[in-house]
Amino acid sequence: MFRNVSKVIFCTLFTLLISSVNVDAVLLDRIVAVIDKEVITWSELYQTMEFDMKDKTRGMDSKGKIEFLKDYEKGFLERMIEIKLILSYAKQRNVSVSEKDIENAMQDIRAKYNLTEEQFRKAISSEGFNYDVYKEKLGEQIVLARVTNDKVNSKIVVTDDEVHSYVANPSSEGHMEQINNQANNNSNNNSIEEQTVSYRIKLLQIDKTSDVTDKEMQKRAEGIYKEIQKTGKFDEIVKRYSTGPNLTDGGDLGYLYITEMAQPFGEIVKKLKIGEVSKPFLTKDSINIIKLVDIKKGDVNKSKKDTVRDISFDEAKQELLKRKADKAYKEWINSLKENSFIKITL
C-alpha cells in the first residue's frame, strides 16, 4: 500500500525537500523560530525559499533575492514549523522509516522519470543535493506522509450522497457561505441593476488560523498579489496558495449577482474592470483576492450553467476528499501548535 502512495507523493520530491544548496552569506545567521527544543535558522529558511523559487530568482544577486523572497518568509516559515511539529510527533510515537522504505521510494522516483541509477544520482547532484542528505530528507518525507495519512487522510469519509449533490451543483458546496450568508437579508433593497447584472468571478481565498495575525495575513497576501501582478498567472497561483473552492478551475465561482454576495465582496467586484484583480481584503474568516472574468446582463441562469464545468463522480469525490482533508489537517496542526512552545523571532 505504501509504495502506491509514494508514487504520487515523491514524483515531485525535488521541489519539496529542504535544500542543501549554499546561500550567499549577506547577513549573519540567526534563529528565526523555536519549536520546543528545535530551532529554525535564517539560513535554513532562505535555503528552502531559494530552492523552491529558484526559477523566479534566477539571475538575481544576493541582495535582490533577499528582497524578492522577503514577502514569502512567513508562509515558508509556517510550513517549516509544521514539518518540525509533525516529525516531533512521529518521534514521540516511534514512527520510523527503514532503509528498504527509502530504497523503494527512490526506485519509484527512478521509474517515474525513467532514470538509471547513474542518471538518478546525477540528477540529485545537479539539484544541489548531497546523496546522503537527499536520502535523509526523503526518509523525513516518508515519515511525514505516514503520520499525515494516519492522523488525517485515513479518517476522511465522503458519502455517495455528498458526491452526487456536488456533481449536480458544484458551485453550491459550502464555500459560498462566506459570500452569500448576508446577502439574502438585503436583496429587496438593491437596485434593479444589482439584481439583473451578473459577474463571473474567480476567488483566491486563504483561511485564517489562530496562530497568524491579521497583519501577517495581509503581508502574505500582498506578496501573493505582487506575484499575480508580475506573472498574470492567476489560476496557477490559486492552485498554489488558495484554501478556497474550485482550485482546479482557478477558483472560478461562475456568475453571481451582487445580491448574492455579502459585503465587502459586492462593493469590490462592482469597482473592478473585466480582467482586473482586486487588492487583498480581509473578512472575518479569510483574506481574499478576486479576479473579475466577465459581466453579463439579463437572465444569468443559462450563463451559470455554461460556466459550471462537467465533473465526473470520481473527480467530485477527490475534490471533496481534499477539501475535508485540508480542513482536518489544519485542525490537527493547530492542536499540535497549541500544545507546543513556539516562538517566532523573524
Q: Considering the domain boundaries, does residue 327 fall inside one?
A: no
Are the beta carbons of 251 and 245 closer than 8 angstroms?
yes
pLDDT at 98 over 60: yes
Q: Residues 192, 272: one domain? A: yes
Taking residues 119-125, what's their average pLDDT?
Answer: 90
Give the helix ranges, DSSP H, for the chain: 2-9, 42-52, 54-57, 62-69, 73-92, 99-113, 117-126, 131-151, 160-168, 177-180, 192-196, 214-231, 234-241, 265-271, 301-307, 313-338
Query: Cα–Cα distance between 61 and 54 in angstroms, integer?
Result: 12
Higher pLDDT, 227 or 302: 227
- CA-angle at 77, arms to 208 and 225, nearest 5°: 55
Q: Which residue matches cell numbers 455579502?
A: 262
Q: Is the pLDDT of residue 168 over 90?
A: no
One domain, residues 113 and 199: no
Residue 321 lies in a domain: no
Give the pLDDT band (50/70/90) at residue 170.
Answer: low
- Which one has a higher pLDDT value, 159 or 285? 159
Q: Which range has the worst mean pLDDT, 171-185, 189-203, 322-336? A: 171-185
Q: Which domain holds residue 45?
A: 2-154+338-344
Clarify whether residues 134 and 85 are in a common domain.
yes
Lowest mean pLDDT among 54-58, 235-239, 265-269, 271-275: 54-58
Identify whether 52 is part of a domain.
yes
Considering the domain boundaries, does residue 6 fall inside one?
yes
Contact (CB, 8 A) for 220 and 207: no
pTM beyond 0.95, yes or no? no
* Beta strands 197-207 and 31-35, pairing class: unpaired
Q: pLDDT per residue over 17-36, tens digit each?
A: 433 334 444 446 899 999 99
Question: Do residues 247 and 292 both lie within one domain?
Answer: yes
- Domain co-membership, 109 together with 203: no
For residue 293, pLDDT over 70 is answered with yes
Q: Which residue has the higher pLDDT, 27 or 323?
A: 323
Max avg pLDDT among 134-148, 287-301, 306-320:
134-148
Whether residue 139 is found in the same domain as residue 273: no
Residue 322 lies inside a defined structural domain of this protein: no
Structure confidence at residue 290 (pLDDT): 95
The reply to whether 287 falls in a domain is yes
Identify the pLDDT of residue 317. 86
Task: State the CATH number of the domain containing residue 185.
Answer: 3.10.50.40
Instruction: For residue 278, give Cα distances in angstroms to 188, 242, 289, 323.
Output: 27, 15, 6, 25
Residues 149 and 274 in one domain: no
Judged by average pLDDT, the poorest of 27-31, 110-114, 182-186, 328-332 is 182-186
Average pLDDT score over the chain: 80
Residues 56 and 107 in one domain: yes
134 backbone dihedrals φ, ψ, rounded to 5°: -55, -45
Indicate if 191 and 59 belong to the same structural domain.
no
**CATH number for 83:** 1.10.4030.10
**What's the average model confidence in pLDDT over 96-119?**
93
- Pair type for strands 342-344 and 286-297: unpaired
AA letter at 103: E
Are 147 and 183 in a shared domain? no
Same domain, 113 and 193: no
Q: What is the pLDDT of residue 191?
A: 52
pLDDT band at 292 (very low <50, low <70, confident <90, very high): very high
Q: Is residue 35 a part of any domain in this protein?
A: yes
Q: What is the pLDDT of residue 311?
A: 67
Q: Do 139 and 262 fall within a single domain?
A: no
Whether 316 is in a domain gets the answer no
Q: How many domains does the chain have?
A: 2
